[in-house]
């Protein structure tokens, strides 16, 4: 840490790095500077260094060379899912704090290695669940903590696209990604549901996974794909029962014949009231609607989100910037990041259980 700024190394300079992480970090120049960039396609790292790096930023094709730089405080792991765990563990062992993109790993065994490495090294680890930082998410979380919904015993975790198959990168590669919409989108919705309910003790999982739409690319918002290269599921569903009896229904799809498309949203049902997320989290137009009973009448209420003036006010900062700022401040002030690795591990365990249950036809017991 020099000049009061954290020195950051970026590993993986593809889509999520360019769309979320590097632009967000660039808006926090008082907290950090990006001093090293690594990608197996070296041209991408060169471009990232030019666009976002310091004048003397280094470029690498091998992440292990980047980790040798003792002046780097924080590493962001932004690679395909398969590489998340071993790069994160190596970075922690090299004395770096790590922000790893979601999902933390392609299976729970790899995720467990990451949690253990963070504990062993004493370095901070967080996972990129930026949807927690949305206005509607923050309001709903506070309502849950205040007991406004009572005992939350049922939740739906929505991660449904009607036709939104990502046709770039390695999204359709099962080996590199570990799966399709369940591990890509379902991970966000499930993280929100568990966080709102503050319940991380699963008992059993029953799952269904479908490979039905690989050759049905008409109407896809990202254009057509090669059906022969479509290796992952197009939709997946899970019924999760917790130790205290609470139940979560998770639905995830890239391609599904439905008009109820909701991504990174939840429905919560409690003894004192309920809440439902609606709109488009992707377009930043998401709302939360609370429902309850008042004066012997059924009532729905919706907060009014004030957008503020551009660059000022409560609505000025993007979710990715909020995420980056909270993460960097947790490193600087030695506080807890909002997303804890132990929480992300439970998400990974549950996603893995849905895949396992669907493959075996059996309910997975924890």
Tell me the pLDDT tens digit for each residue of 10-41. 999 999 999 999 999 999 999 999 999 999 99
Tell me the pLDDT tens digit for each residue of 319-365. 999 999 999 999 999 999 999 999 999 999 999 999 999 999 999 99
Domain-located, residue 278: yes
Query: What does DSSP say about strands 364-365 and 202-210: parallel, antiparallel, or unpaired?
Result: antiparallel
* 147 and 77 part of one domain: no
Q: What mean pLDDT comes out for the span 302-308?
A: 68
* 107 and 89 part of one domain: yes
When pLDDT is cut at 50, 70 and 90, the band that residue 303 belongs to is: confident
Tell me the pLDDT tens digit for each residue of 247-286. 999 999 999 999 999 999 999 999 999 999 998 777 677 8
* 282 and 173 part of one domain: yes
Domain-located, residue 341: no
What is the per-residue pLDDT for 264? 95
Is the pLDDT confidence value at 185 over 70? yes
* 106 and 156 part of one domain: no
Is the pLDDT confidence value at 315 over 70? no
* 84 and 193 part of one domain: no
Tell me the pLDDT tens digit for each residue of 107-163. 999 999 999 999 999 999 999 999 999 999 999 999 999 999 999 999 999 999 999
Domain-located, residue 340: no
- Nearest Cα to Cα of residue 5 among 24, 29, 27: 29
CATH number at 17 reads 3.40.50.720
* 95 and 187 part of one domain: no
Report the domain count for the chain: 2
Domain-located, residue 24: yes
What is the per-residue pLDDT for 169? 84
* 141 and 120 part of one domain: no
Is the pLDDT confidence value at 310 over 50? no
Q: Are 119 and 148 in contact (CB under 8 A)?
A: no
Domain-located, residue 296: yes
From the centroid of its chain, how far is CA 300?
Answer: 29
What is the per-residue pLDDT for 285? 77
Domain-located, residue 228: yes
CATH number at 155 reads 3.30.360.10
Tokens standing for 222?
A: 């990202």
The three state secondary structure string of the chain is CECCEEEEEEECCCHHHHHHHHHHHHCCCCCEEEEEEECCCHHHHHHHHHHHCCCCCEEECCHHHHHCCCCCCEEEECCCHHHHHHHHHHHHHCCCEEEEECCCCCCHHHHHHHHHHHHHHCCCEEEECHHHHCHHHHHHHHHHHCCCCCCEEEEEEEEECCECCCCCCCCCCHHHHCCCHHHHHHHHHHHHHHHHHCCCCEEEEEEEEECCCCCCCCCCCCCCCCHHHCCCCCEEEEEEEECCCCEEEEEEECECCCCCCCEEEEEEEECCCEEEEEEECCCCEEEEEEEEEECCEEEEECCCCCCCCCCCCCCCCCHHHHHHHHHHHHHHHCCCCCCCHHHHHHHHHHHHHHHHHHHHCCCEEC
What is the per-residue pLDDT for 345? 98
Beta partners for residue 163, in sequence order: 255
Q: What mean pLDDT comes out for the span 58-87?
A: 97
What is the per-residue pLDDT for 248? 98
What is the per-residue pLDDT for 305? 66
Domain-located, residue 157: yes
* 354 and 221 part of one domain: yes
* 46 and 151 part of one domain: no
* 116 and 53 part of one domain: yes
What is the per-residue pLDDT for 140? 97
* 110 and 199 part of one domain: no
* 124 and 138 part of one domain: no
For the whole model, what pTM was predicted? 0.94
Average pLDDT, the chain: 94
CB neighbourhood size of 200 (10 A):
17
Can you give the residue range of the structural domain that contains 155? 134-303+346-365
Domain-located, residue 54: yes
User: In the Cβ-directed half-sphere of 190, how many Cα atoms lie within 13 Å?
Assistant: 36
Q: What mean pLDDT comes out for the span 49-64?
A: 97
């Amino acid at each position: 840490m020099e000049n009061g700024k954290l020195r950051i190394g970026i590993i993986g300079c593809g889509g999520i790095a360019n769309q979320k992480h590097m632009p967000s970090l660039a808006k926090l120049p008082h907290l950090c500077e990006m001093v090293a960039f690594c990608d197996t396609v070296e041209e991408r790292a060169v471009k990232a260094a030019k666009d976002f790096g310091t004048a003397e930023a280094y470029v690498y094709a091998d992440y292990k060379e980047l980790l040798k730089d003792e002046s780097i405080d924080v590493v962001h792991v932004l690679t395909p899912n398969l590489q998340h765990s071993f790069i994160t563990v190596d970075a922690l062992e090299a004395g770096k704090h790590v922000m790893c993109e979601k999902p933390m790993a392609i299976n729970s065994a790899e995720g467990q290695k990451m949690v253990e490495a963070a504990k062993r090294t004493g370095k901070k680890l967080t996972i990129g669940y930026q949807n927690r930082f949305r206005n509607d998410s923050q309001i709903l979380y506070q309502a849950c903590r205040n007991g406004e919904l009572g005992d939350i015993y049922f939740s739906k975790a929505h991660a449904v696209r009607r036709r939104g198959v990502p046709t770039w990168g390695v999204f359709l590669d099962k080996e590199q990604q570990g799966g399709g919409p369940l591990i890509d989108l379902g991970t966000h919705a499930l993280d929100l549901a568990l966080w709102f309910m503050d319940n991380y003790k699963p008992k059993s999982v029953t799952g269904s996974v479908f490979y039905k739409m690989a050759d049905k690319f008409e109407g896809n918002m990202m254009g057509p794909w090669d059906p022969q290269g479509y290796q992952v599921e197009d939709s997946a569903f899970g019924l999760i029962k917790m130790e205290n009896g609470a139940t979560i229904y998770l639905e995830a799809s890239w391609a599904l014949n439905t008009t109820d498309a909701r991504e990174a949203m939840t429905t919560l049902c409690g003894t004192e009231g309920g809440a439902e997320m609606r709109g488009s989290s992707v377009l930043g137009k998401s709302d939360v609607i609370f429902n309850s009973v008042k004066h012997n009448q059924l009532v729905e209420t919706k907060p009014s989100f004030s957008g503020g003036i551009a660059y000022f006010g409560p609505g000025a900062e993007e979710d990715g910037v909020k995420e980056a700022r909270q993460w960097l401040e947790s490193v600087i002030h030695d506080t807890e990041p909002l997303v804890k690795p132990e929480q992300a591990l439970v998400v990974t365990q549950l996603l893995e259980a849905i895949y396992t249950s669907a493959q075996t036809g059996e309910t997975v017991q924890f």
